[in-house]
Structure 1
Amino acid sequence: MVLNNIWFLLLIFLFGIYIILDGFKLGAGIIHLGLKSDGERKLSLNALGPVQDFNEPWFIFAVISLFTAFPKIDYSNIIVLFLSILFLLITRTISITLYKKLNSERWNKILDIIFCLSSYIIVLIFGISLGNLISGIPLYNEKEFSGTFLTLLNPYSILTGITAVMFIRMYGKIYLVMNTEGEQQNYVSMDINSSLGMFVIAFLFHAIWTFIAYPVVNKNFIDFPVWFILPAMIVLSIVVIPGFVRSQLYFRAFIASSAILAFCVVITAVDIYPNLIISNPNPENSLTIFNAASSEQTLLTMLFICCILIPAMIVYKVFVYRKFKAKASNIK
């Protein structure tokens, strides 16, 4: 039972790290076509610099760990969802690489669209998936998904997807402001507060809907009120961002936005624990960290592997950030 809980925490950590590290890159992709010129779009890609690579391995490692530690999740057909995301991540990476290699105005326009659309779709898929993770999906007695694709596109999950897009869009803008200079920095910084406002509106609607419509996921908060510190920290992080932007303390604004994302990940974990996939309307069919787990030996072996790989991945990521942390310069 202890191993099951350790693996739940580890998976939250892995997916959380990926979302935080790749979130602002996805945000930069979402606003990519909104930049005023080809020069600004090239500058935006230069600002991504060292963070273009080595984010996807976190996602792949998290997915492999999920299906190895909790193999019965395969029966929910969720693997198709992860393969779709992986395909879009690869497509996005290829578009960025080709953009830098090809010196063709026509191809660059096509690659701009691919980069932007793939980023949008990835965030929407994550958001819609999160919505279904909280609200639950119909599972048979064999714990297999019994709905259709349209079942997943319910109003609550769509609102979750929109809320995710609103936040990631703001997150990407803050990152670009922090890592660019001159006219583009001024242009993007003026729009951060409006993006924050749109996110706050969507977030409030989402929070109220969740609290009213899905009391099951509020159980852990009601039983352990100390968890209410998490939404309080989100509110605090939201409040300080405009002041940081106004004072041009962009790194602090970036840390605050990263904190919002981290707190949202933890809130989701508290909401669903000990479930991995909630069955709605039959909660007894839910996949949990106990009924979907591998053998104790498998969990121990995988934990040993993670203890080696995760520190190595963190050290490499820190090295890359330190080596390539200079701001992008204006492109004439």
Structure 2
Amino acid sequence: MMEIQGIDLSIIWSIIIAFGIMMYVILDGFDLGLGILFPFISDAQERDVMMNTVAPVWDGNETWIVFGAAAMYGAFPLAYSLIFEALYLPLIFVLAGLILRGVAFEFRFKATAEKRHIWDKAFIGGSVLATFFQGVALGTYVSGIPVVDRQFAGGAFDWLAPFPLFCGIGLLLTYALLGSTWLLIKTEGMLESRMRHYSRPLAYLLAWVIVITCGWTAYLQQDIAQRWLHGSHWMLTCAVVVLAVIALYGLQRSLRLRHSHKPFVATLGLVFLGYAGLVISIWPNIVPPSVDLWQAASPTTSQLFALIGTLFILPVILMYTLWGYHVFRGKVQVGDAYH
């Protein structure tokens, strides 16, 4: 165990990495969700408004996934190598989707009206591709990565299985719900009403996906099912389930009462609880089912050196993220321009 005077650096780093990935899921989740919702909006002005709600911040949102990956490389190099080798192809597809979406985002506003539909399709395709394969990567990770003698012992197409593909569909629904509730905050008129109409069935579909995913996970991984009910874990499991039901009820109620911010907050709560459930399911493993934090950790001196730098960098990233959202708060109107 990597400890300095009673401080376990591996646990500190696991919290930092988990926080960075969670920030990415939240911030880039509703961003990608807009692209998933794009096919259901045909009006050109409404599509412009949708994109303008994230135009000032979308590229900054992706900072967090870079931060999470870099932190894992420095603090848990074995986990980094195993995970990226096992998920090489899905992550390549994620990267391709993010590139396609980014290019489409920039070129769409510069294209003529006759050619803008090309970049709309690219924006949709990039968003769906990146989201779906993030879900596939997550499903493959939860299914377990085979490791023998500290090396990946699986195949290049282990991800091409029913459970990871179902997780890909589940993440599409998750990001779509994040996107639709985000637009309740940022838009008005017919677009806001349409998003409110879409959010209710999306929430119910997501609830069913969560139930199926939990049952499927318990069936595939008996050790995870035992961990949910072992020792004090059963109290955490019950707490997550109860809070998820409350969040779902709060989401539906706030939609009926036509709140603008509460549906997004409730959706964030559902996403956070799902993330907490994942942590409960695999802890203390960082490469399930067999590699824990301390087996994958880099030397103490390396973790400490990287932690000192992170203590300076992380607050800066947080500050400019919060400042960006503060500056561009409020509703986006038709005619607001992105340059």
TM-score, with length taken from structure 2 = 0.90
SS at match of 2:101: helix
Give the residue type in structure 2 aligned to 1:24. F
Q: Per-residue CA shift, 1:248-271, capped at 9, x if unaligned?
A: 212011011011111111211121
SS at match of 1:276: strand
Contact persistence 2:91–2:133 (CA under 8 A)? no
Give the residue type in structure 2 aligned to 1:288. D
Aligned residue runs from structure 1 range 1-332, under 5 A: 1=1, 2-73=8-79, 74-76=81-83, 77-78=85-86, 80=88, 81-106=90-115, 108-149=116-157, 151-222=158-229, 223-224=231-232, 225-228=234-237, 229-279=239-289, 286-331=290-335
Contact persistence 1:96–1:115 (CA under 8 A)? yes
Please list every run of 5 or more consecutive structure 2 residues that lacks an aligned counterpart in the other structure.
2-7
SS at match of 1:194: helix
SS at match of 2:55: helix
SS at match of 1:191: helix
> In 2 relative to 1, CA 63–84 (structure 1 residues): closer, same or farther, beyond 3 Å?
farther
SS at match of 2:286: strand
Shift of 1:75: 4.0
Shift of 1:82: 4.0
Farther-moved stretch of structure 1 (48-57 vs 321-330): 48-57
Q: Per-residue CA shift, 1:34-91, capped at 9, x if unaligned?
A: 2022121111111223332201111111101111111113145157354543343233
Q: Per-residue CA shift, 1:231-253, capped at 9, x if unaligned?
A: 22112111111111111212011
> In 2 relative to 1, CA 331–189 (structure 1 residues): closer, same or farther, beyond 3 Å?
farther
Contact persistence 2:99–2:126 (CA under 8 A)? no
Q: Per-residue CA shift, 1:262-295, capped at 9, x if unaligned?
A: 111121112111212225xxxxxx3321111110
Please list every run of 5 or more consecutive structure 1 residues that lacks an aligned counterpart in the other structure.
280-285
Shift of 1:163: 1.4
Measure the CA separation in 1 of the matches of 2:178 and 2:102: 19
CA RMSD of aligned residues (A): 1.9
Contact persistence 2:87–2:159 (CA under 8 A)? no
> In 2 relative to 1, CA 252–75 (structure 1 residues): closer, same or farther, beyond 3 Å?
closer
Give the residue type in structure 2 aligned to 1:3. L
The count of residues paired between Structure 1 and Structure 2 equals: 324
Contact persistence 2:184–2:261 (CA under 8 A)? no
Measure the CA separation in 2 of the matches of 1:316 and 1:226: 37
Measure the CA separation in 2 of the matches of 1:311 and 1:157: 34
Contact persistence 1:12–1:265 (CA under 8 A)? no
Farther-moved stretch of structure 1 (91-100 vs 19-28): 91-100
SS at match of 1:158: helix
Give the residue type in structure 2 aligned to 1:290. W
SS at match of 1:45: helix
Contact persistence 2:33–2:177 (CA under 8 A)? yes
